Amino acid sequence: MSEPLHIATVGGHRLRFFKTPLDDGRPDMPWVAIDDLGRCIGLSRRNRKIHLRVFHSLSKDIIRTVATPDGRISIAPHALARAAVEALIDTNRAPTSARDGYVNASAEAMSKLNPEGFPSVEALTTWLNAAANRWQSVGSVSTAELFPFIEKRGDHDA
């Protein structure tokens, strides 16, 4: 059972962050509940389903499904979630306030990854660089690939 590392409120909705589900000992940033993210940035129910399906189809080797106290959910690495937020903002499918909300929430989650701290600034820097660079091999994915069929902001169905 996976307990959230951090629960934030973004856009009036909860956004759950988790420790990496990967057991390889490598540094990793928080992982994000994909459907929570869609709700937080204002996607309609229909578009959240598309959002989740597309994440799974493009990133089947990355996305994980985990059991939580609230049921099974899909989670994605911060790097992929952050790219999704930026893509939705850039295409006017999410408000620019989504960026600030997500960045603040992810920073809070990051601060909980190693509550004991690091022995030195150098150790912290090394860890952060390794965690930040971990997902660079994912490559760039176009907005059209990430979010096909999602209408621009304002075209909602409840």
pLDDT of residue 74: 92
pLDDT of residue 114: 80
Which of 20, 45, 44 lies closest to 32, judged by CA? Answer: 20
pLDDT of residue 149: 39
Domain map (residue ranges) of the chain = 6-146
pTM for the structure as a whole: 0.81
Instruction: Indicate the burial class of 157 (C-beta count within 10 angstroms; 0-12, 13-18, 19 or more).
Output: exposed
pLDDT of residue 137: 60
pLDDT of residue 104: 92
From the CA atom positions of the chain, what is the Rg in Å? Answer: 15
What is the residue whose two structure tokens read 């408000």? 95
CB contact at 8 A, 110 and 29: yes
Q: Extract the tokens encoding 84.
A: 């999704």
The DSSP annotation for 74-119 comes to EEEEHHHHHHHHHHHHHTTSS-THHHHHHHHHHHHHHHTT-TT--S
Per-residue pLDDT 10s for the chain (158 aa) are: 999 999 999 999 999 999 999 999 899 999 999 989 999 988 888 888 887 887 777 667 788 999 999 999 999 999 888 888 888 888 888 888 889 999 999 989 988 888 677 788 888 888 888 888 888 765 444 444 444 433 444 444 43
